[in-house]
Amino acid sequence: MKKMLTGLLAMLLIPLFSISQILDPVKWTFKTEQATPGEATLVMTARIEKNWHVYSQDIPQGGAKGAPIATSFSFTKSGNYELAGKVTEGKPILENDPNFDMVLKFFADRAVFKQKIKILDKKDFVVKGVLNFMCCDDHECLPPNDVEFEFNVKGNPNAMETAVQPPATKVSAAKTDSFKTAALAVEKADAGAKKLEQAQLGKTAADKAADQSLLKFFLIAFLAGLAAIITPCVFPMIPMTVTFFMHDTTSKSKAKMEAVVYSLSIIAIYMILGVLVAVLLGANFNNFISTHWIPNVFFFVIFMVFAASFLGMFEITLPSWIVNKADKQADKGGYSGAFFMAFTLVLVSFSCTGPIVGALLVKSAGGALIMPIIGMLGFSLAFALPFGLFAFFPSWLSGLPKSGGWLNSVKVVLGFLELALGLKFLSIADQTYHWHILDREVYLAFWIVIFFLMGLYLLGKLKFNHDSDLPYISVPRILMSIVVFAFVVYMIPGMWGAPLKGLSGYLPPETYQDFDINAIIKKEVAAISTGGGTAATPATLCDKPKYSDFLRLPHGLEGYFDYQQALACARKQNKPVFIDFTGHGCVNCRQMEANVWSDPQVLKRLREKYIVTALYVDDKTDLPENEWITSRYDQKVKKTIGKKFADLQITRFNVNSQPYYVLLDTAGNLLTSPKAYDLDVDAFIRFLDAGTDNFSKVGKGK
């Protein structure tokens, strides 16, 4: 329902696209503030048109639907100056983005960034560099853009004479690499006025969406805290701890207050951990863990180690001197003793709670800075809840299940879940760097085996060396095993190309699928329906498409990813060219592919009547030097696939937004007016038919 409403809203908001206009909603100005001789402040100001916004430097990556590119700055290295700290920014708007399912920071109307420098030269000099930013409005995003800047700086008369200048090389003030991101749409009604009001007045109604996202994460963390309670390290501590508090029969109220302090101390300890993660790791770490292979592989290894511990291979414990020291402080009694008792519990239970807490912190580190704190609040609240409740209602202890082998079973089940979830980190690194060691069917195969083994374990058919004997299967275990095996059955068709939409946020994309039986069947049916036989060889391709080793078309379509190669094939086959200006993370592009391209009539026309060409305007793959081009639009050299085709879209069609569909004849002439984002299937069919009708009239475009 949410997707349908979003689509309807988009159709209402953008019925008219300005398809002959270069969108340039952000204007940058640069000035130098220099109050003292020895230092200066470089001020970079973005003036943003109404309803548009520019993203902060603090943007998490690796969301289920991708993420926009953070604003970043690079300065040309020089002996005239040195950077003093990092680029600072004004207070951004914090708002949930439903397209990315995460809280994002951005600026509306105006954004100010400042970089302090220390002046090392007596002579006046110029600071040069380039900034990279991305902007979006209520319904579309523009590709990332580079803006070169210069600052005139007065020399420092107190400085020493400058030595020979080192060769200029660019150093990045913030990490700018981001794979498979760009051109992502943002659905926000009345965004322009509300965003500006937010920036001035703080928390308003527009923050309610952000609260919903944080609430969702809070609930996940709360459930994780409940799961931690029923682990072997924690559950037996409940009656022991409560009995300790209630042993003093002379003052029940004091005992209950100590139990409350004990519970609040648990919450405080985990909250402090969340604050430390938020402050120490911060924004740069967010981008780093989401895009670089090192942290993702590291977290994968950590999850595997914890999973092995949960499965009983070894026990992860903290050094005994740490636990003993906290335990001695707890023996002092009173409220301070209650605090150290809580601290001791946190330390003792580390081997069971560590993987759960670690998973929450890793997830929250990819979001806003408030998320680690919210996550630890939810976790600790659930974790501390039983100790406080049983202290106030000690009679409930009699109804508490006895400790036993079932606790170890819970731990083993969590171990299987750690194995499955840890693969996500390896998958992110695999997709980002095109390793192709964990393609979609390989990933699914691991998950199918992991959850199948979990089901066998729940049925008692799989036993570890630390498990108790299982004389019979309880009803809860039977029900859980049914759910697990049903999940396995659900995943199996994905090995042959089933979309598995319920797992789309956890699985590699369908284009990472080597074997897709649906695409093969559709190709066979299409070939037979046109009298083409068995379609043993592609009928629409003249040669192997460039970049096809890492780029794919949806729905099993065959086509090209290079403009000139597609045009050459069109001439050979005397077919018109369908060009899709798209992006790896373009949400509107994916919506068009899922809701419009998937229609059988649309697919039939694309497959039979056009040379389909997808030009990715945000791809970071470097071009060989002989394929570099100098733009006629901005006179800059384009050295990547994305910049080359983004420049083609701008210089040839005077548009820089995606998706953007163009129909050309074999000479590269327009056959009909281009088309932008529009979920009307019938309108898209009319668009394709108009192209083929006009092509039949103009022939080869001579």
- Average pLDDT rounded to a whole number, residues 366-374: 66
Of the pLDDT bands very low, low, confident and very high (cuts 50, 70, 90), residue 245 is low
Closest CA to 579 of 564, 563, 591: 563
Of the pLDDT bands very low, low, confident and very high (cuts 50, 70, 90), residue 281 is low
412 pLDDT more than 60: yes
| Residue-level pLDDT at 68 | 79
Which of the two residues, 469 and 336, has the higher pLDDT score? 469
700 pLDDT more than 70: no
| Residue-level pLDDT at 332 | 53
- Average pLDDT rounded to a whole number, residues 584-597: 72
| Residue-level pLDDT at 586 | 61
| Residue-level pLDDT at 610 | 94
- Average pLDDT rounded to a whole number, residues 396-421: 76
396 pLDDT more than 50: yes
Averaged pLDDT score across all residues of the chain = 75
614 pLDDT more than 70: yes
Which of the two residues, 516 and 466, has the higher pLDDT score? 466
Length of the chain: 702
113 pLDDT more than 90: yes
| Residue-level pLDDT at 548 | 87
**Nearest-10 crossing angle of helices 371-392, 252-291:** 160
Q: How far is CA 542 from CA 44, 689, 702, in A?
A: 49, 23, 21
Give 413-474 as a DSSP string: HHHHHHHHHHHHHHHHHHHHTT--SS-HHHHHHHHHHHHHHHHHHHTTSS--TTPPP-SS--
Which of the two residues, 426 and 252, has the higher pLDDT score? 426
In angstroms and rounded to an integer, the radius of gyration of the C-alpha atoms of the chain is 30
DSSP state of 545: P
Phi, psi of 523 (to 5 degrees): -65, -40
Residues 141-187 have pLDDT tens digits of 777 788 889 999 988 887 765 434 444 333 333 333 333 333 333 33
Q: What sections of 311-439 are H helices per DSSP?
A: 320-330, 334-348, 350-365, 371-392, 405-432
Q: Would you state the structure tokens that stand for residue 676, as one six-digit string? A: 């932008």
653 pLDDT more than 80: yes
446 pLDDT more than 80: yes
